[in-house]
Amino acid sequence: MNEKTLLGIIVPCYNEEAVLPETFKVLTHVLENLVDEQKIDQRSFILFVDDGSADTTWLLIEQKAEKTARIKGLKLSRNFGHQNALIAGMETISRSTDCIITIDADLQDDANVIPEFIDRFYEGCDVVYGVRRSRDEDTIFKKQSAMAFYRLMGKLGVQLVPNHADFRLLSQRAVLELMKYREENLFLRGIIPMLGYPSAKVYYDRQKRYAGESKYPLKKMLAFAADGITSFSIVPIKVVMSIGFLLVLIGAGIAVYALIVWLLDHTISGWTSLILSIWLVGGMQLIAIGVIGEYIGKIFNETKKRPRYTIETATYKTRQEKDS
């Protein structure tokens, strides 16, 4: 290969001041080695995307970017969420790089397997998934809930790569293809297998968060899962409909029973059954309306076609600025 690959590593950061100095060190080290071994172009760089942090994250990035050309920064105007921060980074550098790698700022993903990613890329893979070998460092609850989520998504017909988060390599054409998916809530883990390009998995051990706290508390995790499900599948609506039919059938059964009892001239002790059915059926109806509302909400959001992120500033000129 004559032309060396220009690699851009994208790191989303939300209030990560505690880990950033270490992240700079670890990632720069990995990148320098790759450049020294002449595996990648020497203009390769790391792009830190500040997702509207409230701490000194951006200050740290700016200072570092001033000192070294290896490190660049992109600042979003507010918190747009992990997925949108990744998309912002990818969209910004996709045309100026041959491949990109996304990795979390907290060093939970093992940056030392990045050279393996590059090897797979040279072997012709457009997508390389980083897959966790063990989840020893996660809580039992997080492990169990993640397993349940993969199972559920599989049943709903969405192919996710188990134990793969957002640590992956994408070739330029994979990124460009990905950007054609315009939905506002882009669930990267679900969409990327749908691209269908040649892919490989690289296994690594997931570490404890180096410093700082998880930005995915339970509430956000559940929202993320619900979003993943309703973005890809209308099975929940169908389930609700089936339950509705079942209830109507039970209702018909009760009606027949009541008729027979009445014909036999027994009094029906009415109150209990009546009040129970009112509550049960009322509850089911509310659930059904809720599920349908979820989908209508999605449609509502998508029809607005709002931008997925807004860039406030960058430590270098962004593509949009250059074009204009």
Contact string (CB under 6 A) for ligand UDP, positions 62-101, x = contact = -----------------x-xx--x----------------
**DSSP element (H, E) containing 31:** helix 20-36
CB-CB contact of 108 with 211 (8 Å): no
Among 10, 105, 131, 229, binds ligand UDP (CB under 6 A): 105
Q: Which 3 state secondary structure label does DSSP give 235? A: helix
Residue 39 or 206 having the CB closest to ligand UDP: 206
The DSSP bridge partners found for residue 131 are 164, 203
Q: What whole-number distance in Å separates Cα of residue 114 and Cα of residue 155?
A: 32
Which of ligand UDP, Mg ion, none binds 204 (CB below 5-8 Å, type-dependent)?
Answer: none
- State the DSSP string of 202-219: EEEPPPPPSSS--S--HH
CB-CB contact of 169 with 128 (8 Å): yes
Residue 215 beta carbon to Mg ion: minimum distance, rounded to whole angstroms: 8
Q: Rule CB under 6 A: is residue 141 a binding residue for ligand UDP?
A: no
Among 151, 124, 134, which residue's Cα sits nearest to residue 208? 134
Among 63, 105, 60, which residue's Cα sits nearest to residue 82? 105
Q: Rule CB under 6 A: is residue 16 a binding residue for ligand UDP?
A: yes
CB-CB contact of 188 with 182 (8 Å): no
Taking CB under 6 A as the criterion, which residues in 303-322 touch ligand UDP?
A: none
Among 44, 57, 94, 108, binds Mg ion (CB under 5 A): 108
Q: Rule CB under 6 A: is residue 51 a binding residue for ligand UDP?
A: yes
Q: Rule CB under 6 A: is residue 23 a binding residue for ligand UDP?
A: no
Q: What whole-number distance in Å separates Cα of residue 160 and Cα of residue 191?
A: 9
Residue 45 or 224 having the CB closest to ligand UDP: 224
Q: Rule CB under 5 A: is residue 106 a binding residue for Mg ion?
A: yes
Residue 13 or 161 having the CB closest to ligand UDP: 13
Residue 8 or 12 having the CB closest to ligand UDP: 12
Among 17, 62, 106, 110, binds ligand UDP (CB under 6 A): 106
For the record, the structure tokens of 147 come out as: 């397993």
Residue 237 beta carbon to ligand UDP: minimum distance, rounded to whole angstroms: 29
Q: Rule CB under 6 A: is residue 109 a binding residue for ligand UDP?
A: no
Q: Which 3 state secondary structure label does DSSP give 211? A: coil
| AA letter at 65 | A
- State the DSSP string of 57-117: HHHHHHHHHHH-TTEEEEEESS---HHHHHHHHHHHHGGG-SEEEE--TTS-S-GGGHHHH
Q: Rule CB under 5 A: is residue 15 a binding residue for Mg ion?
A: no
Total residues in contact with ligand UDP, by rule CB under 6 A: 16
Taking CB under 6 A as the criterion, which residues in 204-223 touch ligand UDP?
A: 214-216
Give the DSSP letter of residue 205. P
Residue 324 beta carbon to Mg ion: minimum distance, rounded to whole angstroms: 36
Among 128, 118, 102, which residue's Cα sits nearest to residue 199? 128
Binding site for Mg ion (CB under 5 A): 104, 106, 108
Binding site for ligand UDP (CB under 6 A): 12-14, 16, 51, 79, 81-82, 85, 104-106, 108, 214-216
